[in-house]
Each structure stands twice: as C-alpha cells, then as structure tokens.
Structure 1
Amino acid sequence: MLHILDVSSPSDRVASTGGAKAAGLQALQRSGERVPPWSVLGTDIFAEFVDRAHLAELITGLDSAPEAALAEIRSRILAAPLGPELSRLLAAAHERAGGGRVAVRSSGLDEDGDADSYAGQFSTVLNVTTGLESAVRVCWASAFSDRLASYRLARGRSVSTAGIAVVVQAMVAADISGVVFSADPITGDRRRLLVSTVYGLGEGLVEGLVDADLLVIDRARRLVLETVVGEKANRRDAADGDGITTSTVPDADRVVAALDGTTADRIVETALRQERRLGRPVDIEFAVADGNLWVLQCRPITALPPAPLLGAKERTEPGARRIWDNSNIIESFNGVTSPLTATTAAEVYGRVYLEYARSLRVPPAQLRQMSRWTPAMLGIFHGRVYYNLLHWYRMVGIAPGYPLNRRVLEVALGVGEPLAAAEARRLHPFVFRSPVHRLVSRTVTTVVYARRLAGIDRMMERFTQDFARAYDDFDRDDLDSVAGDELYRRYRAAVDDLVKRWGPMMVLDAILLTLSGAMYALTKAWLPRAPEWLMYAVVNPGLNVESAEPALAMRELARSVRDDPELADFLAATPPAEAYEALARSRWTAFARAVDQYIGRFGYRSVDELKLEVPDLREEPASLFLMLRSATADAPLTAGPDADVYLDEHLRGIRRTLYERLRRKTSRAVGHRETLRFRRTRAFGMVKRTLRALGRDLVARGVIDEFADVFLLTVDELRDAYEGAPNGPSYRHLVAARRAAQSRDALLVAPARFVTSGDDFGAPALAEQGWVPVAATKAATLGAVLVGVPSAAGIVRGTAVVVTEPADIAGGILVAYRTDPGWVAILPSARALVIERGSPLTHLAIVARELGVPTVVQLPDASTLIRTGMHIEVDGAAGTVTILDDEREQA
C-alpha cells in the first residue's frame, strides 16, 4: 500500500524510499530545528507511476543505450497522467505541507551522500499553488537528464536504478536566504565558516544566478574576518505566481543582506550544531522571515580534502547513536594499532560476516542491507580498535535464538554494561518487505543452522584439513623472490580465499552462544544454587585443545632450563635480543634444537600476534626468550574445585545424562573455537609475511622509506599503491604524520566504553567521552576488596606484577589491562591472573582454567588500582582481589 511520508514516518522508511533530502529534513526537525512543513512522495509512488505509464522496460535498457532512451523517458514522464490514486496522494502531500504555496523538490536516493552530493543534478520548482502534478513530473523527469546520467556513470552507478522521490514543502516568504558552510569548502579550513546571503528566495544563490554577499567568520571567536558585497544588485523574488519572478533591489540596498549580529550568530550556531549531529562539516540552506530562522536543507560537504582515519565508515542515519566498547577486542588489538592492521581487520570482519550470513541462506536483498553496516563492525579512535557494539547485537540476530544469544554474547565479549532490553529488541540485522517473506527466510536459516549445529564436528574437520593444506603450500613459498605486482595479486587472492573459508565457520560462534546459553539455562534450572565458577568449569575442552600447545611446549622448555643451572645462568645473563644467536653458538646444542623446533611449530606466534606490525618469532625470536625467562619460575598452582565432584553430588539420573550430553557438545564447540582461533593466528601470520615482503617492494619502488612504513598506510592506500598511481612523496608525508599521531595517541587514556552521536569523531568530541591525557590515579588502599568476574577457581596470595606485555612475571600474580593469545606461554610462571578487560570465555581464560591458574577478569581499573609490589589475594571462585598488608600476607 502506498503512503505519504512525513516527519512522523519511520526513519528507516524515509531514508530508504524518501531520498536524502527527505531523510535530512526529518533529522533536522527531530533535532529541534525550525523546518517548514513538508511531506514526501516516495520512490514506491514513482515506481507505481512507471508501471502505469509502461516505462519499466525502457528504463531497464538505459545502461546499454542511455542517449537513445533518456529523451523519450523524460517526454513520456512529462506527458503521462498520474491517475486518480496518485493524484489523491499528491493532494494529501500538499495538505500535509500546509496546503498553500509550496516548493516541489526532487529527492534522490544517492543525493547528499558522504562521497557524492549530486548538487544541481535534480530539479526544483518553487512557488507552486496550481499545477502541482506538473511540478512533480518535472522532478521525476530530472532523474533522467543527460547530465545526471553522465554523473552516475562516471561514478560507476547504474542509470536504470536511479531512485527518485519528491519533497513537497511549504514556501517561506523569505526576507533573506542563504547558505552557511561550517568549513571553508575551497581550502578545507575548519577554523572558518562561510555565510553567503541574498535578499528573498535563495534559489538564485544556489544556482549561481545571483551575485551574493559573503561573511567569513572565525569559528572559535565568532568574529567576522571578512565581508564581501556582491558586485551587482541582489534580487528579491516575487511572492505570487507559479515559478520564479524577480524584481531588482536598488543599489543603495546592496549590503550584506541586512543580517544583524543576532541572526548571524543564530545561523553560525545552527551550522555548528548540525555539524556535531552529522559528525562532519555541513552546508545548510536557510531562510529568514519576520525574524525567524528556518532551516531548509542540511548536507555534508563532500568536496573537502581527505580527512584522517575516522571511527567508522558506514551509510547510516544522520545523528545515529553508536556505542563503542573495547571488551575483548583488546585481546586481539591492544593499545595503539597501526592503520594497516586496523583497516585490514575492519575490512575482513565485514566481509567474513557477510559470508557467514550468505552461508545461512540469507536472501540477497537482506545481504544488501547488511552491507550497509558490516563494514563498520569495528571503529578506530586515536589508533585504538573498538567494537561498534550495536552492530554485534545485529550480527547475533542473524542466527535463531537472539534473546538468549545476545545475553551470552555480553558474557563472551566481556561487556561490562549490558544493553537495555528494549533497545536490544529494536536491533535487527535486516528487515523484510512482508511478514511472509520474513517467515520463509527465517525458516530456511533456522533449518540450515540446525544442520550446521548437528554437523559442526565434521564441518570443523574438513575446514582444518583444507586450511592445513593451504597453509603448508604458502609456507613453502619464498616471498622475497616474487615480483611485487605478483606478490600483491597473491596477497589479495589469499585474503579473498580466507574470507570465503572463514565466513561459513563463523556459525561456530553462533553455535557456541546457543549451546552456552542452553548450558546456562539448564544449570540455573537444575542446579539453582551452583557456584558461579561451575558454569565455566563444566565446558572446558581439555588440555588436548590445540591452542594450549604453545603453553605446554613452553613449560617443557622451561623445565629443561631449570634442570640445567648453567643454562639458566647463561640465559639470564644474555640479553633476549642476542639470546638466539648466542645459543646457536653455545654448547647447549640439544636445547638450541628444541628452541628451533618450538619456532618451527609456533613461529607465527607473538605477543599482540594479530597486529600485523608486530614481528613474529621467526622474524624476532627475542620475545621467546623473554617468555622463557619468566616461565622458568614454574610457580606452584592451586587446583580449583572439581566440576565432576560437584555434579556427582548434586545431579543424578536422567537429568545428569542429558546434562552430560549437552556438556560434551558444548565442550567440543569450545575446543573447535579455540582451534579456529589458532588457525586465525596462522592466517594472520601468512598476511604478516606477505605484507613485509610488500613493504620491501614499496621501498624498492621509492614509495616509502622503510618496509615497516607499510603498516602506517591503510588497506585502501596499499591497494592504491598497486592498483592505482601512488605519489611517493605524499606517502612519505602521510607516514610521517601518522607516526607523529601515534606518539600523541599513546599518551591518551582510552576509555573502555563511550558513546557517539553522528560522525563527530574529532578530538573535542572524544575528549568529552574520556579521551584525555594520562593522569595520575590513586592506588587501592590496604584491605580494599576489588570485585570482578570469576573465571578460574582457586585462592592464591602473592606479589602483584602489573605488566603491559608478558615479561618478568617470575612467579608473581599477573595484573594486566588485557591479554592476547600470545600470552599463553607465560601461564606456567603466573601464580594467578587479574585481567581488567576480557571475559571468562576469552582464549587466555580458557587455557588458564585448564592449567589450574586462578583467574579474575573484568575487574574495573585493576591495572591502575593495583601496583607492582603490592601483596594481594586472588579468589578465582569469588571473583575478588584483596589488597593485603605484609603481616596478613605472612600469616
């Protein structure tokens, strides 16, 4: 059924069928600006008109022969009657716009976008009282002009899919009209605003027909820096008749459009307010009538010089609220992360989850909807990577069981502040055009999902075998002997192949959420008094999980060092950076071979192993000796309670049988996920090696100075270096600027969670959200009990060692803001773990439980409240850390 759109219509419908002008008007009005009454004939009404006028076939053929068809299409649009139903809808639109004199404006779906404005490409008819149908047809016909067709084709867009809506808006009898730019559109200078004004209606200003007056205003001080008066008389537009007529304003009135200081201030404040809402510089069309300021249109400026890395690239509703949370993403990307790592991760995440949805048979129309938000599942702020959290809730909604899965997601991600239930229910990965389509699609997805759940073991086995073959083939290549262009081709092919392989495997995360949720529900129902640690203890995959192998192998190396005091003294006295070469020349040949075997098996591993800029063990074995040095203490471990003992005492009979069956399935899923993540580490190792070779090639070409500079480029810039025509000196300047920015960013506190509105990711807006320079913080006082989330049971007392990397633990209690899978090798040396961020389901937490290391996670401010040298008690079952004095520690 066809409907007229207005400010009360659902915003997603206005954006999808009302075009950019309509969406902008709705957002403006909802943000509190004074907007003349308006309504919209959406693209669905135009589609109905096309169908009745028998134009569909002609429009479909436009891409192959646009010149031959455009004139005929325009002619038939201008001649075809609307018919009774469409005429009734148009009358209703006119009534909602006030019923008097109106402006009729085209509203293209692609118009006023982040990249292209389509400025001047569509028609507008002003001062319409009669002939409303004619004005609407003029706007529809403008979507098929020769210049618009050329504009679309030049940007790689189809002419035949040009969407066109029409805005009907009450005319304002303007005394003054104009446009304000919140940044200089010529130079890109954001310190200056430009206000351009004329008498009467502003259409002549926009179309360049009137020589306007100009104010240049300093943003910070609100001072007029420059005044430019038009060289010829402005004109005042008449207030009667359809279309535009004008009368000349006397030369004596040729001043800066008579703007008083108060009105100018209001215009500036409006521009800055809307810039904050949209998160980028804007240009606003306005009118002043009887002292009232009316906002007619607002759009982002698309012609400014390129901006630095922003927090997200997504097509979304202006002013949209986003929640950014670093949760367990810091396990993968801790601290300041290189532009290449961050943008590669964002691209891969988006593509992988689209493949995941495709593997669950999500229909193409819904996949297209997902493509609007999947590229922005991660955000990049001052070099830090964050989850764009609301999109992760949307992602969970792809599989069945969303109400339970989203709660398990919050635990799995370590989200400290769960989303309000009402807001969570409003989030959808996509929408359907009818309840029937939704039912059919969701049924198909559920059936496919159930099959994957039942056959996940076989699916994982096939994936593991296929990946092993691909990895072995890659590992045999000598990348430095491959020409740069061929190397880049292989790099893109490898990424594409990994995305296609990985996408379907993401069902494992959904399955784990489902099974963990079922385990949680069953445990609460049948064991209502069960301690919190039981939930995590019952679903461990066992020590045979592949991701525990590095820790076990490191334990064996450490045992060899302890058994040979002279070797221990040798390694203690040798700087880690020199240890590998020194060991190769030493008499400890057997131990040197064991180290080589470790590097051969786990050489792709490193601390921060998913950060492409961090060298792995093959490139820099020093980190292995740092981990080995701290692991030689082999701290005594305190075993936690046995889950089987508790279950034997509290659960028997058929309930125990069913519980164990679900437990085994869930434990295998946990093991599969750990294996998959281990494979992900290998995949990133492949990418690391390739990018280093590409970096050396770019140095040889003179594009950058050092191979490591490649990590200061974005993935798009790397693509341009091989697929476009890069400018070597500009890349060098870019690298230097980003290196300096990284140094500044490292001095900032990165909040665990913050909220933005629109796309304002500038320093002032982020400072309000907690991005401030690092300042002194108070330490916890003696006797204080800090409460986090239990992860691995056991009680341990010892000395805290607060670290940012896995080094020099030596039997202390490891306290860290976060960890990553590369830290598992030091677990044998840690008496306990206290992790500020993360969750009980993170990689390190799972391995820590298997090795019996008491662990508390999600303990707020742990890395600042606890200081190295403090005596503390960690209770992994209760999730507490107590600050002890010396006497209590000795007792």
Structure 2
Amino acid sequence: MDFMAMTSHVPYILNFFEIHAADLPVVGGKGANLGEMTAAGFPVPEGFCLTTAAFRRFIEASGQGEDIYALLERVDSGDMEGVRRIGEQIRTTLVAVPIPEEIVQAVQNAWQRIGSKHAYAVRSSATAEDLPDASFAGQQDTYLNVRGLDALLDAIRRCWVSLFNDRAILYRSRNRFSHRDVALSVVVQRMVLSELAGTLFTADPVTGHRHTLVIDASFGLGEALVSGLVSPDSYRVDKRTRAILEREIAEKTVAIWPDPGGGTRQEVLPPEMRTRAALNDAQILALADLGCRVESHYGQPQDLEWAIAEDRIYLLQTRPITSLYPIDGLASPDGTLHIYFSMGHQQNMTRAMAPLSLSTFPLLIPFGHEPGQFDNPYLRTSGGRLFADITQPLRHPILRRGVFILTSQFDALAPQALRLVMQRPEFRGPHRMHFSYRFLRGVLRILGRVFLGLWWRDLSDFVAQTNELMDTFIAKIRRRFRAQPPGKAQIQEMLAAMGELFPFFLNWVPEAAAGIAATRLLPRLARHWLPPEKVESLTLGIPGNVVNEMNLSLSDLAALARRSPVLVERFKHLENDAHAWLDKTAQTEDGRLFLKAWQEFLTRYGARGPAEIDIMMPRWYEDPLPLLRVIAGHIEKETNSRIHFTAQAQAREEAFIELLSLAQRGLMGPLRVRLLKRLYHVLTTVGGMREHHKFLAVRFLWEVKQVLKENAACLVAEGKLATPDDIWFLTWRELLAIWDEDATDWGTVISRRRADLERYQKLIPPLIITSDGETPVVRYQVAGAPPNALQGNPVSPGVVEGVAHVIHDPTNESLKPGEILVAPFTDPGWTPLFINAAGLVMEIGGVLAHGSVVAREYGIPAVVGVREATKKIRNGHHIRVDGNRGLVEILDGVDAAVEENTSARQGQGESDAIDNILNG
C-alpha cells in the first residue's frame, strides 16, 4: 500500500489560521473546527495541526505499515484477548519508531512561531476519509501541559500510536470502518493555564429548552470536570433576556492544576474554596454572550469547552449537542409557546418514519383542514415523527381536562408534565377554539349513540355486523384502486379514499366507546363487593377483540402443526427465506393441510406486522418469518392460548355470578343487579372492539401499499426512481408531481432523506415537546424504592424474576419461554412474542397501551414508562419486575439507575461515548 500517495500534496503542518473547511479530511473534525473558530474571530488559543500526511509518513517510516493493516483486518471484534494482543504488538512496534526528520523540523518551526516557553495541549483528531461525518471521539489520548520540544514530539508520537489502542480497534471493527482509511491528525494548542474552566451548553441538555443556556464551572483545568472528579457549579441563563435564572453552587473538593515541570497534578481544595461560587455574574454573562455568538455562527445548539486565565475567556472547542431532539418542524405559528404531543406514543410506535408515511396521517385525519388538503396545521413532523399541536385544547378551560385524561392513558406522568409547561408565562393566551353548530350537532349525535349503546341497545350481534361491514368496505376499496392503472389518476383515487376512512369508523366507534366505558365502570362498581383479583377477572377473556382472536388463531396453527411429527421437525429447521420454507413444507400431505389453515390466517391478518402504522414496514404477507418463529415457540412450549382464554372467560363468568349474589342484597339490590347486568352485557358484546378501527386502518393501508409498489415499479421502469423503495421517501404531493414532467433531481433528494431517516432512528422521541424544544422532565417516585431501581407505571400486577431479553425489532428476534420482554414499545405486531414472556418492561405506554392490555390478558407482570429501559437493561441481565409497585430491579449488581442529569450533560463526553458503544 502506497501510504504517501494518499496525501502526497498535503503539508505536514497547518496552522489554525490556515485551516479551511476543505481540510477536514486531513486535520479531522477537531482540527477543522479549531480552524473555523479561529477564522470566525473567537478567542481560540493559538495552535497547529499535524495533518494525516504526517501520520502516514510516520507509518511509512516504520517499514511495517502493510503488516500492521494486515493484522488489523484479521481482528475478530468478539475476541477481546485477540484484540488486546494485536493492539499491544502494534503499539510496541510504533512507539519505538523515530519521527522522520522533515516532520520534526516542521513541528519545531510551528512550535517556535507560537512560543517555545509556552505549555501545550496535544490531542488527537481522527478522520475517516470515506466517512467525514463519523465521530471517533474519546478513543485516542490527550496530553496536557507539555513543555519542551522533546516532550512535544513524544506526545505527538503517542497520539499517533493511540489510533491503535484496544478501544479504537474495537470501535472500527464493530462499526465496519476500514482501518486503512482511518488516519490521525494531531492538534497542538497553546495551553491555557486556567484558574477557572468548564463547559457551556447553548441549550439545556436535560430538558432540551433552546432558550436556556447552561454553564458548568470549577476551579483549575477543565479535566477535573470532564473526567467526573468534581461536581461543578451550574448556572442557567435565559438567552433572550440574559437573566441568570438559577445558580447551583456545588461542593468542589478537588481541582487539577498544571505542574510547573510538565503534566498535571490533582490537589484537594481548601475548605474556604469548596463552596465558593466559581463564577461571578459578569463572568456568567460574558460566557453566555460567547455561547450565543458561537451558536449563531454554527446555526445549531453547541457544547463548548472554555477556560478563564488572567480574566480572559478562551474558547477551547465546540461541537453540536447531538442529544437534542430536533424542532425544525415545531416552530410556533403565532409567537406564543406551543405544546406538541407525540402521535407515535399514542399509537405505541416510536420509530422514525419516511416522508410518505408521515404525509399519510394528515390525509387520514379530517380535523383542522379541508378534505383533500395535504397539510394539517394541527399535525407537525420533526425528527421523522408526527406530533399533534394540543395548545388550543390545553388553553380551553373545559377541553384541557379531556387532554389530561387522554394523555394519561399513554403515560401516567403526562398530565404532570403538561401542567409544568402550562405554567410558563409565554404559554398564556386565549384559546381560539370555536365550534360550529354542525360540529356540535355531530358530537351530540355520537354521544347519544354512546349513551344508547351503554344503557339501551341490544348489542349481541354488533361485532359480527361490524366485521362484515369492514370486509365489504375493504373489498370495495380494492376494486376502486384496481379500476385505474398505475399513474397519477390512481394516486388521486387513493387520496380520495383516505378522506373516507375516518367517517367510516363512525359506523361502530360510538358503540366501541360504550364498550370501553363499561370496561371502566363495571370494575369500579365491583370493588365494593369483590376482592382485587376477582375484579381483575371481570375484564379478561372478552370476546370480539381482533388482537386476541389473532393470537388464538396462531395458537390453533401451532396445535395443528404439533399433531404432525413431520411438521414438528420442519419447524425445528426454519429458514431465513420463509417463502421458500413454506414451499418445501407444501411437499407433504401434512404440510398442505397446515398451509391451507396458514393461508386462511394470512387472509385475515396478513396485513398486520410490527410498526404497522408505518406503511413502509413489512407486513406478514411480505415477511411471515416472525410468525413462523412464534408458531415454533408454541410447539416447543406446548402452549395452547385457546385453553388459557377459555379459562379466563370462565373465571370472568364465575366472578360476575359472585358479584351479582353479593350486590343483590338490600333494598337497592334489584336495581344494582339490573345495572350490573347491563354493563356486563355491553362489556361482553362490544368491550373487545377497542382495536377495530386500527385493524381496518391497517387493512386499508395494505391495499394502498400494494398499489404504491406497482406505481414504484413503473416509476423505476421509466427512470424516475432508482429503486422501488425510493417511493417511501417522497410525500404524497411529490408522488403526484413525479408522474408529471418534473425536472427535480429526486435521486439527490431521496439520498438525503435516507440519511436523515437513519439519523432519526437513533433519536429518542419525547412524549411531549414544546416549540422551544423543552421536553418536561418528570419522574415516577415510588415510596421505599431501592436506590438502584428503575421506576415506571405498574399496569399489570404480580412480581417476577427472570432473564431480560431486550428487543427492538420483533421481525429479527424471538423470545424464549420464561424470558422477560424489554422493549421500547409494542403494537399488535409484537403480540405473538407475549406467548413466551414472563414479564414486560416498556419505555413508553400507559394503562391502555397495547402491551399493558396484552400483559393483563396473559396475566404477566408489567411496568411501562420506564425511561431508557432498553439502554439500562441489557440482554442476559437477571431482573425483577414488580407490577404491583412499578419497579424494575437489575439483580446482577450493575448500577443501572445512572443519574439522568449527569448522563445528559456528560453524554457528549468523549470517553463516555466509546464506553457506551462497547458496553452496548
């Protein structure tokens, strides 16, 4: 490999004032940023960068470059001992290599220009030349208070060698970065011998508030703060008014100071300094001004490192705050504070979605805009997720109570978080909600049907009638779509049909609402006579629930397969290509019998799948492997959900009979019995219809998806799209335009949107966010909770201990019997996993979330709303789930309850970043 040919035109040294944006590949992100800060006129200490040309010349001088990279390419990232052995061998070789004389001379010239008597900080700045946005922070070494040419050259060599430390090698191997393409620049910067140092976030890293600036400060060098040796003072400043909002003065026990002979020393601070404020008001405001100027220059919130020496402020480095949720699409339309609610949480699906999926929802929801309009002012997208603007209902004195009730179903703490934000002065304002006579008449008609359904109508055949109505609707939609060939007219037909879906829901939603009301009222009344476990039984084993019926059908398929030794053996050898496996299975008589029942199942439920509200995600029609895995698990476990369901229904009947016998006593007994019987009738006839509207929507979207795939194939054939999957990265408006003669460079647009989606998937969406970017932080507080317990909302009673299995994608993983499912969320596409689950822990959700309902149906303990559960709990952890108190304990001795405030602020820290990667 010709190392020098890769950088033959690049100088060995570039001073900060010589560095431009185009130099990123040869000076790395840190070096390029220092050059940009210098050019912008910020108070950056002088310095220079040794470019990647110097690094490659050093590797060439070793005479073993090819051998080194050959060794690295054989690294097995799972073999920790092998990584250590190879890394140590490479480092031992390189640390003894002399730096070529021409590089020594270039360093000496740059060093003398700045001043040979100064102390210097020497840091690495890694680059991945084929991935200029990749971050390798924290994997190489830093040297402080370096004095003299020999010490400087030694620090430079050690920085180069640090590219081959164990953590850096592992990171590249695990992330499939080519070792050959990653080079190292070294930053040499005059060191500020600071009396004060710290960090500055131009947006609150905990709450996300874009107008709150946070400064952390301590005495001495900033290394004490960054390394976690000291608890810093913290100051909050309103960027708009420059008012100091808050001062938290910590007890600062130690400081790191530069040693006169080179290096640093740690000292215990005298008592009088420990509780003294590190910064005065003038310094706080001067730092705030610097932070605002830096943010304005970069156009996004920044994480700064700063130092103060001899009353002068220095900017040491800055980088974007990557942990903030984007608010590009959540700007206030009227200058007042707006509050947004995550629609993904409402649908129990928090994955980021592509543009076509996001642009579908405004078309399906008819409120706030005229039929056929693409945009809805009450629905916003940001970070690949959909948010509802709930500002006006929250300002309405009557409607806000409804918002509190609704949001509490998805997170018990949501009303508390909303009240926290509503106290802000900038939120105050008159509501602008005015209802027309026509609207009020429609609402009253619906409420009337709810009342009649709850107290009067005979609903015995209502579910069967609704199912038939839904089947007819889907058949008509299919014929409508197929009446047009792929093209603009067919797209317009689909758009028209989307506006008809919600009105069609009204054929049964009022009666379903009556069923939900009965599900709430009956247990509330029954508590006067029955013990808690009997009350719980009253709402289990309810017929007519499409999710339960789907699970029962799956169990029936497993029972059918279990009767055949041939099929039992086939299910032991599932293949990744599920369709090929099914074709082979059809070659036997038992297989054909099974496939007949299998096809009937798919006809009914094949439009479903994980994250099914996202039209882009595979359906079971398209990828049946997850279902086959579930059936295999059923066969292995020898479970029968139908027996379990029948037992629940019997327990429900027995509990109700007992309830009637107890409630009939006394003068009011006959009236109570009549009331309870009516509620029980509603509960057992329409109480299971909670998922019907979603089931129809998913089936409708499957019809849409099939037509879209045909349109995509035609657009590829015409050269307008590169691949069929590109269609998901257009909006509906753009999909109409692309069928016309359109000169837009869709390839570039789609490529950018693909990258955006990949980035958005790594973000954790908030349940509630404001137009200022604030995500109000409220936490569960369980009395007497163990100090390291994770806390959440108890939604299904019981206590269980077991092995945790963290699952993000149910299409790729299955659950073994007895494992505890830990997931960010669940929707009906996840339901088959519950068959083997001993317990459930979810990051989002409330009592009516899909996972909560299914957990109660299956009788497994569940705790939801556990913040960052999928990060703090790891596969294989032995955990205890307490569904009575809302506690999750990790029993392996791992401290999972990391202080969220600390992790949020130090999440930008370099060493934390790689540790999280290696530990994940």
TM-score when normalising by structure 2: 0.51
Find the aligned partners of 2:422 and 2:518 in 1 and give their Cα distance.
21
> Which residue in 1 is equivalent to 2:763?
749
Q: 1:408 to 1:633 in 2, by over 3 A?
A: farther
Q: 1:428 to 1:707 in 2, by over 3 A?
A: farther
Residues 452-467 of structure 1 correspond to what in structure 2 (within 5 A)?
452-456=449-453, 464-467=467-470
Residues 1:550 and 2:550 aligned together:
yes
| Residue 591 of structure 1, CA deviation | 2.0
One-letter identity of the residue aligned with 1:582: K
Q: What CA deviation, in whole Å up to 9, does each residue of 1:394-418 have, x standing for no partner?
A: 89967xxx74x44431332235331
| Residue 700 of structure 1, CA deviation | 2.5
Residues 427-826 of structure 1 correspond to what in structure 2 (within 5 A)?
431=432, 444=441, 447-456=444-453, 464-475=467-478, 479=482, 482-502=485-505, 526=528, 531=532, 538-540=538-540, 542-577=542-577, 578-586=580-588, 588-634=591-637, 644=656, 647=659, 653=669, 654-655=671-672, 657-662=674-679, 664-665=681-682, 668-722=685-739, 725-727=741-743, 730-746=745-761, 748-757=762-771, 785-806=789-810, 807-811=813-817, 812-826=819-833
Specify the SS of the correspondent of 1:819.
coil
Q: What CA deviation, in whole Å up to 9, does each residue of 1:159-180 have, x standing for no partner?
A: xxxxxxxxxxxxxxxxxxxxxx
One-letter identity of the residue aligned with 1:824: T
Specify the SS of the correspondent of 1:874.
strand
Contact 2:514 2:682 in 1 (8 A): no
Contact 1:327 1:387 in 2 (8 A): no
Specify the SS of the correspondent of 2:806.
strand
Higher mean displacement: 639-648 or 495-504: 639-648
One-letter identity of the residue aligned with 1:335: R
Find the aligned partners of 1:427 and 1:669 in 2 and give their Cα distance.
41
> Which residue in 2 is equivalent to 1:162?
none
Find the aligned partners of 1:269 and 1:647 in 2 and give their Cα distance.
66
> Which residue in 2 is equivalent to 1:334?
350
Find the aligned partners of 1:554 and 1:801 in 2 and give their Cα distance.
22
Contact 1:542 1:850 in 2 (8 A): no
Find the aligned partners of 1:555 and 1:879 in 2 and give their Cα distance.
30
Specify the SS of the correspondent of 1:613.
coil
Contact 1:327 1:414 in 2 (8 A): no
Contact 1:612 1:684 in 2 (8 A): yes
Q: What CA deviation, in whole Å up to 9, does each residue of 1:47-73 have, x standing for no partner?
A: xxxxxxxxxxxxxxxxxxxxxxxxxxx
Find the aligned partners of 1:832 and 1:688 in 2 and give their Cα distance.
34
Find the aligned partners of 1:699 and 1:819 in 2 and give their Cα distance.
34
| Residue 840 of structure 1, CA deviation | 2.4
Find the aligned partners of 2:463 and 2:397 in 1 and give their Cα distance.
21
Question: Any stretches of 5+ residues in structure 1 without a counterpart?
Answer: 1-264, 280-308, 355-366, 771-780, 887-891
Contact 2:562 2:635 in 1 (8 A): yes
Contact 2:845 2:864 in 1 (8 A): yes
Find the aligned partners of 1:668 and 1:824 in 2 and give their Cα distance.
22
One-letter identity of the residue aligned with 2:585: L
One-letter identity of the residue aligned with 1:809: L
Residues 160-559 of structure 1 correspond to what in structure 2 (within 5 A)?
312=329, 316-325=333-342, 328-329=345-346, 331=348, 333-349=349-365, 351=366, 353=367, 375-390=376-391, 403=401, 405-419=402-416, 431=432, 444=441, 447-456=444-453, 464-475=467-478, 479=482, 482-502=485-505, 526=528, 531=532, 538-540=538-540, 542-559=542-559
> Which residue in 2 is equivalent to 1:862?
869
| Residue 738 of structure 1, CA deviation | 0.8
Specify the SS of the correspondent of 1:454.
helix
> Which residue in 1 is equivalent to 2:846?
839
Contact 1:325 1:387 in 2 (8 A): yes
Find the aligned partners of 2:675 and 2:428 in 1 and give their Cα distance.
34
Q: 1:491 to 1:481 in 2, by over 3 A?
A: closer
Find the aligned partners of 1:704 and 1:677 in 2 and give their Cα distance.
31
Q: 1:310 to 1:707 in 2, by over 3 A?
A: farther
Find the aligned partners of 1:418 and 1:541 in 2 and give their Cα distance.
31
Give the superposed CA RMSD.
5.0
Specify the SS of the correspondent of 1:872.
strand
Find the aligned partners of 2:777 and 2:736 in 1 and give their Cα distance.
33
Q: What CA deviation, in whole Å up to 9, does each residue of 1:179-232 have, x standing for no partner?
A: xxxxxxxxxxxxxxxxxxxxxxxxxxxxxxxxxxxxxxxxxxxxxxxxxxxxxx
Specify the SS of the correspondent of 2:770.
strand
> Which residue in 1 is equivalent to 2:834?
827
Residues 71-110 of structure 1 correspond to what in structure 2 (within 5 A)?
none
Higher mean displacement: 635-644 or 658-667: 635-644
One-letter identity of the residue aligned with 1:808: S
| Residue 575 of structure 1, CA deviation | 1.7
One-letter identity of the residue aligned with 2:743: N
Q: 1:715 to 1:659 in 2, by over 3 A?
A: same
Find the aligned partners of 1:466 and 1:396 in 2 and give their Cα distance.
39
Q: 1:837 to 1:479 in 2, by over 3 A?
A: same
Q: 1:480 to 1:383 in 2, by over 3 A?
A: farther
| Residue 785 of structure 1, CA deviation | 4.4
Find the aligned partners of 1:838 and 1:721 in 2 and give their Cα distance.
39
| Residue 711 of structure 1, CA deviation | 0.4
| Residue 704 of structure 1, CA deviation | 0.9
Q: What CA deviation, in whole Å up to 9, does each residue of 1:803-850 have, x standing for no partner?
A: 112332021221111011112223322233222212221334334433
Find the aligned partners of 2:388 and 2:327 in 1 and give their Cα distance.
14
Question: Any stretches of 5+ residues in structure 2 without a counterpart?
Answer: 1-287, 302-325, 779-784, 894-920
Find the aligned partners of 1:815 and 1:423 in 2 and give their Cα distance.
30
One-letter identity of the residue aligned with 1:822: G
Find the aligned partners of 1:719 and 1:565 in 2 and give their Cα distance.
53
Q: 1:649 to 1:791 in 2, by over 3 A?
A: farther
| Residue 340 of structure 1, CA deviation | 0.8
Contact 2:486 2:711 in 1 (8 A): no
Q: 1:482 to 1:880 in 2, by over 3 A?
A: same
Specify the SS of the correspondent of 1:801.
strand
Contact 1:799 1:871 in 2 (8 A): yes
Specify the SS of the correspondent of 1:833.
strand
Find the aligned partners of 2:691 and 2:710 in 1 and give their Cα distance.
29
Find the aligned partners of 1:511 and 1:523 in 2 and give their Cα distance.
18
One-letter identity of the residue aligned with 1:416: L
One-letter identity of the residue aligned with 1:710: I
> Which residue in 2 is equivalent to 1:47?
none
One-letter identity of the residue aligned with 2:704: V
Contact 1:794 1:876 in 2 (8 A): yes
Q: 1:511 to 1:739 in 2, by over 3 A?
A: same
One-letter identity of the residue aligned with 1:555: S
Find the aligned partners of 2:380 and 2:412 in 1 and give their Cα distance.
16
Contact 2:481 2:493 in 1 (8 A): no
What percent identity do the matched residue pairs reach? Answer: 21
Find the aligned partners of 1:627 and 1:396 in 2 and give their Cα distance.
48
Find the aligned partners of 1:394 and 1:509 in 2 and give their Cα distance.
29
One-letter identity of the residue aligned with 1:717: E
Number of aligned residue pairs: give it: 548
Specify the SS of the correspondent of 1:418.
helix
Contact 2:408 2:415 in 1 (8 A): no
| Residue 783 of structure 1, CA deviation | 9.6
